[in-house]
Amino acid sequence: MSKSNRILIIAFLLLYIISALISMFQTLTQNNYPGELEEFTRSISTVEVILLSMLNIISFILCYFVFLVLSSFRLKLNKNINVIFNKTKINKLFFFLLIAQIFFLVTTGVGKVTTSANEIATSIYSPL
């Protein structure tokens, strides 16, 4: 793995950790759950919120190390078939999935962090 790819992966990891910590502090400072669950009172203790957040962050860091170990191997289905991933095609695929997710968010409103309990879902696809 190149140095630039490793830096990008670590940057994404740090963004995830920062967002998890912000979410944890937001949950700890309010009596209700943040975001779409704002109408519900928080029913878990402060210690449980901290433990769940830390376990989530630790599991994400462990996934990074598992990725480092597994990225050095080639996937072999049998002796005659080798699978090598084309990074450009995978990047295009993930870019398409990102655009599809943003389009889904804009059209349905599902997944917005800043919605309040008083807002009514305007889409038939919204489960809440």
Residues 9-64 pLDDT 10s: 888 889 889 988 988 888 888 888 777 777 888 888 899 989 999 999 999 899 88
**b/e map of 26-36 (b: 16 or more CB within 10 Å)?**
ebeeeeebbbb
Tokens (6 digits) for 77? 């289905």
Tokens (6 digits) for 124? 């038939």
Look at residue 54 and give its three-state secondary structure.
Answer: helix
pTM of the model as a whole: 0.55
- As a whole number of angstroms, the distance between CA 119 and CA 128 comes to 10
pLDDT for the residue numbered 78: 66
- Among 87, 28, 20, 31, which residue's Cα sits nearest to residue 54? 20
**How many percent of the chain have pLDDT more than 70?**
74
- Among 98, 99, 107, which residue's Cα sits nearest to residue 125? 107
